[in-house]
Amino acid sequence: MKKDDVLSDWNEENEQIDQKNARKLVWRTRISIGFTVIRTLLLVLLLYLLYVIPMQVYYDMSGKQAGFDRMVTTLVETRNPGITVDKSGAGQSASINPLLTQKTTQTVYRRVGDWEVAAGKITAKKRLFGKLHYTLDLKEKYLNDDFVSSFAIAPDLLGEDSLAEDAPTGFSLSEQLNKIEDGYVAQVKFAAKQGMAPGELIDLLADYNVEIYQMAVYGGEITEINMPFSRAGQFTFASTLLLRPATEYDDKNRHSSSYLSLTTKESLAAAEKQFFEDLEWLIENGNYPDKKIDEQRLDYLNQHGIQVFGATVTGPVREIERLEEKELLHQFQLGGIEVWKWQER
């Protein structure tokens, strides 16, 4: 019996030792696996940083970041009447992720008198092998306001007869503004009944105390390019390009200077020159849905020059009212009214 007891005690002691060794082995294995996971994660993080940091530095230093902001700004401002992208720098910051998708969010505003009224934001994205797409989120003050973002194209640009004298001219500015007292400024867009050179439109508005903000440019959208269009009675509407105040960039695509309007001959000359440069730059450097259309537009404009058929202007309400005196102007639409902030021109 004593020998059996000794053997039993010996087995129990060995079992306890084996259990302790097993537990130690398990913990050593867990610790080893834990350190291996940590080392692997640190290695992955290091490789990630070695990839991301140089990529971000190159994206910024090479001018590609500023170039993406420039492309979005140019596309928005040459296609959307009444709004401008904020170029102060605070609202522009294109970014790129590890999958090389570029994205930017920029603030847009309306020029009403000398106010720069925040109008919303533009969000743009471009994947590595995709096209640039943007969404424009404008602050809507009124529901169902029927604001038309395109201009009625002058019939002569389409090879059609002039508008009939009794053709409706859109709602009356005077009906909207004559009950507003002095001390307010407004923005308005309008179409012209015939096409003209940009300088002729400046001369047409020379007697009015307004700033010309944008001009609608005919680029052969219907007669040469066969773009989608809509008709309302005698009027034809299509998406067209806009002549905007010249915006200059340095060799790294960073914004360097801008004109505020198209009102003077000097600012107009700079805008026309920059207009062609912008189109050429977009076509050469961009990948966006309307690229093929812009190539056709550029060909048309190089052959026929710039013909405009509408504009966006801003100024005191009394001056805006007076624009209805011009028989060549019609299809007026208000873009906003604010309290007085205007330096006499």
This model's pTM is above 0.75: yes
- Give the pLDDT score at 13: 57
Phi/psi for 120 (5° steps) reads: 150, -155
One domain, residues 56 and 172: no
Q: Write down which residue in 38, 61, 84 finishes a domain.
A: 61
User: H or E stretch including 20?
Assistant: helix 2-61
Predicted local distance difference test score (pLDDT) of residue 218: 97
- The two structure tokens encoding residue 186: 């407004």
Distance CA 274, CA 77 (A): 13
17 & 153 share domain: no
Rounded distance, CA 291 to CA 286, Å? Answer: 8
344 or 211, higher pLDDT: 211
**Closest by CA position to 342, among listed 264, 268, 271, 261:** 261
Show the domain range for 322.
Answer: 147-339
Q: In which order are the strands placed within the sheet that holds 151-152?
A: 151-152, 235-238, 230-232
pLDDT given for residue 171 in this prediction? 61
Domain boundary among 43, 61, 79: 61
Pairing of strands 329-339, 184-196: antiparallel
Would you state the structure tokens that stand for residue 301, as one six-digit string?
A: 């404009």
Whole-number pLDDT of residue 292? 95
The verdict on residue 131 lying in a domain is no
Q: How many domains does the chain have?
A: 2
Flag whether 72 is in a domain. Answer: no
Q: Give Rg (Cα) of the chain.
A: 32
- Reduced to 3 states (helix: H, G, I; strand: E, B; else coil), residue 199 is helix
Does some domain include residue 3? yes
Does 5 have pLDDT greater than 60? Answer: no
Close Cβ partners of 225 (under 8 Å, ≥ 6 residues apart): 219, 293, 296, 297, 300
Q: Say whether pLDDT at 56 is over 90.
A: no
Q: What is the pLDDT of residues 206-230, one digit of tens each?
A: 999 999 999 999 999 999 998 888 8
The two tokens of residue 215 are 């001009």
Tell me the percentage of the chain whose pLDDT exceeds 70: 88
What is the DSSP track for 273-314? HHHHHHHHHHHHH---TTHHHHHHHHHHHHHH---EEEEEEE
pLDDT value for 143: 64
77 in a structural domain: no
pLDDT in tens, 130-173: 999 999 998 777 666 666 788 999 999 998 877 765 555 556 78
Residue 80 carries which side chain, given as an amino acid letter?
N
- pLDDT digit string (tens) for 94-110? 899 988 999 999 999 99
Contacts of 199 (CB under 8 A, 6+ apart): 265, 268
The verdict on residue 185 lying in a domain is yes
Task: Judge if 312 and 189 occupy the same domain.
Answer: yes
Residue 345 lies in a domain: no
Q: Give the list of residues 6+ apart from residue 282 with CB closer than 8 angstroms, or none.
A: 71, 74, 75, 288, 291, 294
Question: Do residues 29 and 154 both lie within one domain?
Answer: no
Token pair belonging to 123: 């969000």
C-beta of residue 345 within 8 angstroms of C-beta of residue 263:
yes
In a domain, 242, yes or no: yes
Task: Please identify, among 61, 92, 111, the residue that sits at the C-terminal boundary of a domain.
Answer: 61
Q: Which of 7-11, 181-185, 323-327 has the lowest mean pLDDT?
A: 7-11
DSSP code per residue over 76-117: HHTTSTT-EE--SSTT---EE-TT--EEEEEEEEEEETTEEE
pLDDT, residue 17, reads 61
| Closest residue by Cα to residue 315 from 182, 184, 221 | 184
